[in-house]
Amino acid sequence: MAKSRHEYVCRECGYRSPKSLGRCIKCGEWDSMEEVMVVDAPKSVSAKKSYVVSNSVPRRLGEITEDENPRIYFGMSEMERVLGGGIVPGSITLISGDPGIGKSTLLLQTALKFSETLKVLYVSGEESERQIKMRAKRLTDAEKFSDNLFLVTETNLDAIHGYLVNLNPDLLILDSIQTTYIPTKDSSAGTVTQVRECSSMLREYAKSTGTSVFLIGHVTKDGNIAGPRTLEHIVDTVLYLEGDRFQSYRLLRSVKNRFGATSEVGVFEMSNMGLLEVKNPSEAFLAERMVNAAGSAIAVPMEGTRPLLVEIQGLTSPTSFGNPRRTANGLDFNRLQLITAVLIRRLGYRLGEQDIFANVVGGLKIDEPAADLAIAAAIASSMRDKPIQADCVLIGEIGLSGELRAIRQLEARLNEAEKLGFRKAIIPKRLGRKGEIASTMEVIEARTVKQAFYFAFGEHDNS
C-alpha cells in the first residue's frame, strides 16, 4: 500500500518542508510554499532504474572525443547561434517567455525546418491539432508537409512516453511543461511537483535515447507559475524569448547553456508568416531613425558576442509639478540617474527642474555601461535642442567624475558601425595602450564626457 503525506514545496527554488512556511528559508521568497500530496511509489516502479545509459562508464578525459556531441544544423541560423551552434542530440532545452510572445510559433517553425531531414514529434497541450495545422500553413510556403513531422494533442506524460517509444523521434517538442502531468502523482498539472517530475523524466528519456527535447515554459510577470528556477536546474539550456508585445522585434536570449556561450542573442521579427530571422539587426533598429533630430544618439552595445547599433532617444521637458520625473525605457533606471547626476554636477546642465525620458528604440533592453555616453548625449542634445552629428556613434562608460572609461571589444563595435556607414566614432581615450585602431572611420578619443560632447555636437568646427 503506497503511503501518502503532505509536503510544502517552494515554487521558486524547489525547497521542501514538512511544514507550511510564510517565507522559504532557502531562497527567501515570500508566500512561495505550495502544498503537495506526496505518494511514495512502490519501489519496483521507481523511475530510477532507467537512468543507466549505455556509455556512462568512467573514462579517461583524454579518451573522450569532442565530436561525440555532433550538432544538428536545421537551417535557422539565429536559433542555432543562440544554442551555440545547432541542436545537441540528447539535450533538453527550455524556452520560456511571456504568454503570446511567440514561443509556440518559434518551435513550430523549428519543427517544420527540422522535419525536412529528421523525425519530429510535436506534442501540444495547449492547442488542438487543427489549430496547429492552420498555424503551420501560415508559417511555410511549402506545398506539402514533411512525412517526418508528427503532431499530437496530449497532456498525459505516460501517453506521451508511449508515442515516443513508438515513433522514436530525433526531436521532441513539448508545448508546454505546465500542461503536462504524470497521472500517478497526486497533484494537478502546473504545480512544482508535476513540472519537476515531468521534466526530470524527459531529461532521462533524452539522455538515454539521444533525442533532443524542447520544452516550452510559461512565466507570468511575477514568475508565479511553477517556478522556472526549479526547471532551470534540470535542463541543459534555458532560452528566453522576449520583446515588447506591441513591437515586432523578438529577442531570443540564452541565459544558461551547457553547450555554448550564454548571453548570445538571436533577433527575430514577428510577421504574418511567423518569426523571420533578422540577419542584420543594426540596420533594422536604425530603420526609422530621423537624421538630424535633437535628442537622438547612436550607441553600440554588445549582445552576446555581437555588437548592435541602436538609437537612444532622450527628451527633457520642464517639470510642471513636484519632483522631476525620470523615465527609462529599455535602460537601467539607476544608470539613468547616475548619468543625469554627472550631467548636472560635472557639466553644469540644469536638469534639476527637468523631467527626463530616455528610450531605446526597437524594444531592445540595454544594461551595458558602454551605452552611457550615447544616453548622456541624447539627453544633452534634447536639452540644448541641438542634433548630434548624424554619422557619429558614441561609445563609452561614464564615471562619477565625468570621465570616460574604457570598454571591452572596441574593435568589434567599430567594425559594426563602419559596416553600417557611420563615419565617426567617439570613444574613451585609450590610456597606455599602443597600436592603431584599424578602422576607416574617424575615431576620436575623449578623456571626459565634456570633450566627447565637444566633438559630438561639432563644436570644434566653428570654434
Residue 23 and residue 10: Cα distance in Å, rounded? 9
Going from the C-alpha of 216 to that of each of 51, 75, 148, 372, 443, the distances in angstroms are 23, 21, 21, 35, 45
Least CB distance from residue 173 to ligand TYD, whole Å?
12
The residue among 294, 296, 291, 329 whose CA lies nearest residue 310 is: 296
Alpha carbons 122 and 68: distance in angstroms, whole number: 26
Q: Which is nearer to Mg ion, 96 or 209 (CB)?
A: 96
d(CA 424, CA 109): 40
- Our measurement of the distance from residue 336's CA atom to the centroid of its chain's CA atoms, rounded to an integer in Å, reads 22
Residue in 54, 55, 65, 272 binding ligand TYD, rule: CB under 6 A: 272
Max CA distance (Å), the chain = 91
CB of 283 to ligand TYD, least distance (A): 21
The Cα–Cα gap between 448 and 428 comes to 8
- Least separation, in Å, of the C-beta of 124 and Mg ion? 8
Min dist CB 99 to Mg ion, Å, is 7
The answer to the question of residue 270 lying near ligand TYD (CB under 6 A) is yes
Say which entry of Mg ion, ligand TYD, none residue 295 contacts (CB below 5 to 8 A, set by partner kind): none
Point out which span in 28-36, 265-273, 287-295, 321-329 binds ligand TYD (CB under 6 A): 265-273
Of 77 and 131, CB closest to Mg ion: 131
CB of 69 or CB of 271, closer to Mg ion: 271
Residues 93-152, interacting with ligand TYD (CB under 6 A): 97, 99-105, 135, 138
Binding of residue 371 to ligand TYD (CB under 6 A): no
Q: Interface with Mg ion includes 110 (CB under 5 A)?
A: no
State the Cα–Cα distance between residues 403 and 409, nearest whole angstrom: 19
CB of 140 to ligand TYD, least distance (A): 10
Cα→Cα distances 120→152, 167, 384, Å = 11, 9, 58
Q: Is 104 in the site for Mg ion (CB under 5 A)?
A: yes
Distance of CA 232 to the CA centre of its chain: 14
Give the integer Cα–Cα distance in Å for 58 and 272. Answer: 51
- CA–CA separation, 402 and 449 (whole Å): 6
Binding mask 328-367 for ligand TYD (x = CB under 6 A): ----------------------------------------
Q: Residue 235 in contact with residue 199, Cβ under 8 Å?
A: yes
Nearer to ligand TYD, 241 or 443 (CB): 241
Q: How far is the CB of 127 from Mg ion (least distance, A)?
A: 7
Least Å distance, CB 120 to ligand TYD, is: 17
Q: Which of 220, 170, 241, 227 is nearest to 199 (CA)?
A: 227
Q: Which residues pair with 216 in a beta bridge?
A: 95, 175
Smallest separation, CB 127 to ligand TYD (Å): 8
Choose, by CB under 6 A, the member of 47, 134, 142, 273 that binds ligand TYD.
273
Beta partners for 272? 274
Residue number, 132 or 309, with CB nearest to ligand TYD: 132
Contact map string, positions 1 to 40, toward ligand TYD, x by CB under 6 A:
----------------------------------------
Closest CA to 356 of 312, 403, 402: 312
| 253 scored as a contact of ligand TYD (CB under 6 A) | no
CA 28 to chain centre: 25
Q: Which amino acid is at 272?
A: N
For residue 94, which phi and psi values (nearest 5 degrees)? -105, 130
Closest distance to ligand TYD from the beta carbon of 223 (Å): 16
Amino acid at 363: G
Q: Which is nearer to Mg ion, 121 or 309 (CB)?
A: 121
Strands 265-271 and 249-257: antiparallel
**CB of residue 135 vs ligand TYD: minimum separation in angstroms?**
5
Q: Which is nearer to Mg ion, 107 or 364 (CB)?
A: 107
Q: Which is nearer to Mg ion, 33 or 173 (CB)?
A: 173
- In terms of CB distance, is 132 or 160 closer to Mg ion? 132
For binding to Mg ion (CB under 5 A), which residues are involved? 104
For binding to ligand TYD (CB under 6 A), which residues are involved? 97, 99-105, 135, 138, 270, 272-274
